[in-house]
Every structure is written in structure tokens, then in C-alpha cells.
């Protein structure tokens, strides 16, 4: 048996959570959360290539909170299997040896060629794609773009776009999970757990920055300065030659970190349109209702709040022909008029992938996790038993000056 937090299907709780989600502090971690602490059977390895992993730290992500609060779209319902153990930002250790891959390919990394020994510390690429599911590669998996896999509902495990949304694999918020060889990335001994647990969200940030296709000298705004926004900023600074990166941040601690991570300018949400107008020398227009917008504006925006207001701001401050990247799970709807009128490119960026030179975003993220000034980014760590406090803390992270809240599933 293994202690886990389990997200179960409860329509009434789901609706209650959706109704008050995020608005009443404590309500989500209280009686209405569709989450419970249970002893479940340990997940079993479903096929060859799968191994058991003992999570050491697992992050609480914005998408987890959206799921808990019923804010995520019903679109996802066929892409998950209930009940599941959440947790897709994981650093753990292998309980089994990982056998070498049968067909490692000519430029496969050492871990695929040689396998990995039990006890190795690994981070998890949570995507459950063709390889893990034991089905022949779809066109995306064949290209190495596993986040785009078309087969995430079939094969050896139940539907689930990622570990942390699949009924069979367990997740980071439990004491055991099972993972496929394709999901594992060994990490160096020099990378402490508190940094390693950030590799998955860093890999996502690397991916969304690659998706943005930023040219040298371009101007960028990152709307939101939670983990997604700040990691996007780090990735922008390490992977692009953007001339300026303005970060829209609500809370003091976020502002400090944005400055420390290399933002050209950090502005409050109510100042953002004016500040971006200034920096881009655009014209400012006041619609009869709704937010002001620019004619002119920045080249590329990243939406990293998950809120309508964030997407609205991004769409209204990007120049004609510019690009808006949905870097986090989009929470709600926005007025798409500027996409049409300003001929914007709206770009999604989900999970991670690889560079055109076929360097895995995870490898890039592991290097960033080692070098970037990430001390203190993991603001709090809770044992599973204190999940209500952990969830509350994560929900109020911005206000409380926290960034990433994690579980240490093996601790009491």
C-alpha cells in the first residue's frame, strides 16, 4: 500500500469548487476539494520499460490548482482517468534498474543506450506518449515532439495526457509512481532536489520560448510573474537575444525576482498598458468598455497568468503581426478581436519538446536549474498529511511572497 493524495470524481464538489474557486481562501483545501489522502495499492509497472520511482519532491503547479478549483476546461475530461494521483513536477529515485532501450537510435543519450541503475536520481518528463503506451509512434513521437502525441488515451495505461492525470501510474503527490524509460532524465549529483524539482516547469518554459521564435532585438512582455512567468523570463534571457523583456508582476516578491532574473522593466498590472506604450512608442486607445489597447506595441507577449485579464492584456499590447504565446494553461476566455484586427499569431506551448538541433528541453532545463539563481524559489515543502495547508499556501503563493510550493511525499 502507498500513501497518496487522490483526486476523485465528485460532480458536486467539482461544481462547488468551480463556483468559489480561488475566491474564498481555504475553501478549496477544505471540505469541497475533490482531493483526499488515501492508502492505495502501489501502482504496478504495466509493461517492459516501466520502473518504479520514489518521489523525493513534487511541485504544485498552476494547472493542478486549476484542476482542483474546477477552473480547467471540460476539454480535458477524456484526456484523464479517475481517480488519479496528481503531481507531474517530480524529482525522485529509481527503485528498479532501467534496461537499455531496445532501439536506442544513433544519437540517443547515454541513459537510453546503457540504461539506468536503481537508486539513480531522476526528473520526470510527465508526458505519456506512444513509447510509454507501447503503441507504434504517431507522427509526432516519430519526430521527437512527444508533447504533441496523438495516442495519449490508448495502450498500456489508462487515458492520461501526463503522469499526474492517469489512474494507473501514480503521481508525484504519492509515495510511489511508475514511469516509462522515455520519461526519465538522470540528474547530476550536484543538482539538489529543491532545484531538480523545478526542471519540469523550466523545460516547459524553454519549450514555450522556442515556440515563440524570438528574433534578436525584439521586444517581449511576460504577463504574470508566478513560476511560469519567471521561468519564461529565465529562458528568454538564456536562449534569446530579446532587446527588452517587460514583466507584469502583481506582488512585491515577484517584482524582486523578476528584476533579479533579468527583466528590463517590471510593472504592475494597472501600469502595464502605459508602460508598454511608452517603451514601444505606440499609440494608446480607450475603448468605451474594457481595457485600453495599443496601436503599435511589443513584438511578442507571453500569457503566464491563466486569467482572462492576462490574456486580454497580452492581446492588446502586441503590435500588428506580433505573437502571443499561451505559456500556461489558459483559464478563461478573452476578446479575440485584436487577433483578427491586428493579425496576431496566437501560439500554444504545452509541456516540452526539443530544439531544432534535437537537444531535449529537459537537458537545457537541467543546465538552467544548475546555473540560474533559483535558491529560495521553492518556498515551502509539506508532507502529504498537511496537504490542506500546502494547497492553501500554493493558492495564495503570490500574495504570501511564495513561488513554488512542494510536497515531500516520503516525509511524515
Partner 1 sequence: MSRPGFVLEVDERTPPLIVHRGEGFGLESFPLGTKVLYPPDSLPGIRDVGGAITAALDAPLDSEPLDELLTAGMALTIVFDDISIPLPQMVTPDIRQRVIEAVLERAAAAGVDDVELIAANALHRRMTPAELQRMVGERVFRSFWPDHLRNHDAEDPDGLTHIGETDQGETVEINRRAASSDLIVYVNVNLVPMSGGHKSVPVGLASYRSLRPHHNVHTLQRSRSFMDPPNSAMHHSYERMGTLLADSGVRVFTIETTLNNDTFPKEFAFLNKREWEWSLRDQASYLAAKRGNDLAPAGLRRKVWQRVASPYGVTGVNAGATGPVHERTLASIHRQQLVEVEGQSDVLVFGLPFICPYNVNSIMNPILVMCLGLGYYFNMYRNKPPVREGGTLILFHPTPWEFHQVHHPSYVDFFDEVLSETTDPATIETKFEQQYATDPWYIHLYRHSYAYHGVHPFYMWYWGAHAMEHLGDVILVGANRPAVARMGFRSASTFADALEMASDTVGRSPSITYLHSPPLTLADVR
Q: Where on the chain is the footprint of Zn ion (CB under 5 A)?
A: 61, 129-130, 138, 141, 149, 151
- Between residues 80 and 318, which has the closer beta carbon with respect to Zn ion? 80
* 311 belongs to the binding site for partner 1 (CB under 8 A): no
Q: How far is CA 374 from the centre of its chain?
A: 16
The single-letter DSSP state of residue 386 is: G
Please report whether residue 284 would count as binding partner 1 according to CB under 8 A. yes
Query: Which of partner 1, Zn ion, none does residue 277 bind (CB under 5 to 8 Å by kind)?
Result: partner 1
Of 133 and 277, which CB lies nearer to partner 1 in the complex structure?
277
Q: How far is the CB of 159 from Zn ion (least distance, A)?
A: 13
Residue 104 buriedness (CB in 10 A; 0-12 / 13-18 / 19+) = middle
Show contacts with partner 1 in window 239-278 (CB under 8 A).
271, 274-275, 277-278
**13 belongs to the binding site for partner 1 (CB under 8 A):** no
Cβ 139 to Zn ion shortest distance, Å: 8
Stretch in the footprint of partner 1 (CB under 8 A) among 236-244, 251-259, 279-287, 307-315: 279-287
Q: Which is nearer to Zn ion, 195 or 316 (CB)?
A: 195
* DSSP E strands, 181-287: 184-186, 219-223, 244-248, 265-267, 283-285
Please state the closest distance from residue 281 (CB atom) to partner 1, in A.
Answer: 6
Question: How near is the Cβ of 250 to partner 1 at its closest, in Å?
Answer: 16
| Residue 37 binding target from partner 1, Zn ion, none, CB below 5 to 8 Å by type | none
271, interface contact from partner 1, Zn ion, none, CB < 5-8 Å by kind: partner 1
- For residue 188, CA distances in Å to 122, 149, 260 come to 9, 28, 25
Nearer to partner 1, 41 or 252 (CB): 252
Q: Among Zn ion, partner 1, none, what binds residue 284 when CB lies within 5 to 8 Å by partner kind?
A: partner 1
Q: Is residue 131 within 8 Å of residue 50, measured between CB atoms?
A: no
Q: Which is nearer to partner 1, 166 or 282 (CB)?
A: 282
**Out of partner 1, Zn ion, none, which partner does residue 149 contact, by CB within 5 to 8 A per kind?**
Zn ion
Q: Are the C-beta atoms of 317 and 272 separated by less than 8 Å?
A: yes
CA–CA separation, 261 and 46 (whole Å):
42
Q: Residue from 282, 369, 394, 397 that binds partner 1 (CB under 8 A)?
A: 282
Q: Which of these, 179, 173, 170, lies nearest to 59 by C-alpha position?
A: 173
Q: Does 283 bind partner 1 (CB under 8 A)?
A: yes
Q: Give which of Zn ion, partner 1, none residue 129 binds (C-beta under 5 to 8 Å, depending on kind).
A: Zn ion
Name residue 295's beta-bridge partners: 283
Cα 262 from Cα 258, distance rounded (Å): 6
Residues from 24 through 83 that contact partner 1 (CB under 8 A):
none
Question: 222 or 405: whose CB is closer to partner 1?
Answer: 222
Residue 61: contacted member of partner 1, Zn ion, none (CB under 5 to 8 Å, by partner type)? Zn ion
- Return the number of other C-beta atoms located less than 10 Å from residue 285's C-beta: 12
Whether the CB-CB separation of 302 and 223 falls below 8 Å is answered with yes
Q: How many Å is the maximal CA-CA distance in the chain? A: 64
Annotate 355-393 with b (16+ C-beta within 10 A) or e (fewer): eeeeebbbbbbbbbbbebebeebbbbbbebeebbebbbb
Closest CA to 200 of 166, 175, 171: 171
Interface with partner 1 (CB under 8 A): 271, 274-275, 277-278, 281-284
Amino acid at each position: 500500500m502507498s500513501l497518496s493524495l487522490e483526486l476523485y470524481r465528485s460532480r458536486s464538489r467539482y461544481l462547488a469548487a468551480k463556483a468559489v474557486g480561488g475566491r474564498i481562501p481555504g475553501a478549496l483545501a477544505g471540505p469541497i476539494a475533490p482531493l483526499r489522502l488515501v492508502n492505495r495499492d502501489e501502482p504496478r509497472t504495466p509493461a517492459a520499460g516501466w520502473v518504479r520511482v520514489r518521489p523525493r519532491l513534487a511541485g504544485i503547479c498552476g494547472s493542478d490548482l486549476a484542476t482542483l478549483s474546477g477552473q480547467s476546461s471540460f476539454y480535458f475530461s477524456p484526456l484523464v482517468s479517475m481517480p488519479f494521483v496528481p503531481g507531474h513536477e517530480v524529482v525522485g529515485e529509481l527503485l528498479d534498474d532501467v534496461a537499455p532501450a531496445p532501439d536506442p537510435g544513433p544519437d540517443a543519450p547515454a541513459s537510453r543506450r546503457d540504461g539506468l541503475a536503481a537508486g539513480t536520481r531522476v526528473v520526470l518528463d510527465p508526458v505519456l506518449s506512444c513509447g510509454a503506451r507501447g503503441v507504434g509512434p504517431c507522427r509526432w513521437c516519430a519526430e521527437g515532439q512527444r508533447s504533441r502525441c496523438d495516442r495519449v488515451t490508448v495502450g498500456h495505461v489508462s487515458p492520461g495526457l501526463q503522469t499526474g492525470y492517469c489512474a494507473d501510474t501514480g503521481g508525484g503527490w504519492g509515495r510511489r509512481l511508475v514511469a516509462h524509460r522515455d520519461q526519465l532524465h538522470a540528474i547530476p549529483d550536484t543538482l539538489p532536489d529543491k532545484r531538480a524539482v523545478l526542471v519540469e516547469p523550466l523545460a516547459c518554459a524553454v519549450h514555450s520560448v522556442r515556440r515563440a521564435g524570438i528574433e534578436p532585438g525584439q521586444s517581449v512582455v511576460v504577463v504574470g510573474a508566478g513560476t511560469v512567468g519567471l521561468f519564461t523570463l529565465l529562458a528568454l534571457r538564456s536562449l534569446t537575444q530579446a532587446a527588452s523583456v517587460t514583466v507584469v508582476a502583481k506582488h512585491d516578491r515577484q517584482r524582486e525576482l523578476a528584476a533579479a532574473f533579468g527583466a528590463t522593466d517590471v510593472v504592475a498590472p494597472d501600469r502595464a498598458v502605459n508602460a508598454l506604450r511608452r517603451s514601444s512608442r505606440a499609440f494608446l486607445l480607450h475603448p468605451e468598455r474594457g481595457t485600453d489597447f495599443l496601436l503599435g506595441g511589443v513584438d511578442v507577449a507571453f500569457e503566464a497568468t491563466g486569467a482572462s485579464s492576462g490574456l486580454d492584456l497580452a492581446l492588446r499590447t502586441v503590435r500588428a503581426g506580433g505573437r502571443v504565446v499561451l505559456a500556461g494553461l489558459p483559464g478563461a476566455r478573452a476578446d479575440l478581436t485584436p487577433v483578427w484586427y491586428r493579425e496576431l499569431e496566437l501560439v500554444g506551448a504545452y509541456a516540452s519538446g526539443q530544439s531544432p538541433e534535437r537537444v531535449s528541453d529537459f537537458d537545457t532545463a537541467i543546465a538552467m536549474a544548475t546555473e540560474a539563481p533559483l535558491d529560495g524559489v521553492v518556498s515551502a515543502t509539506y508532507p502529504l498529511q498537511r496537504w490542506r495547508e500546502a494547497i492553501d499556501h500554493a493558492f495564495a503563493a503570490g500574495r504570501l511572497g511564495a513561488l513554488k510550493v512542494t510536497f515531500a511525499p516520503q516525509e511524515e
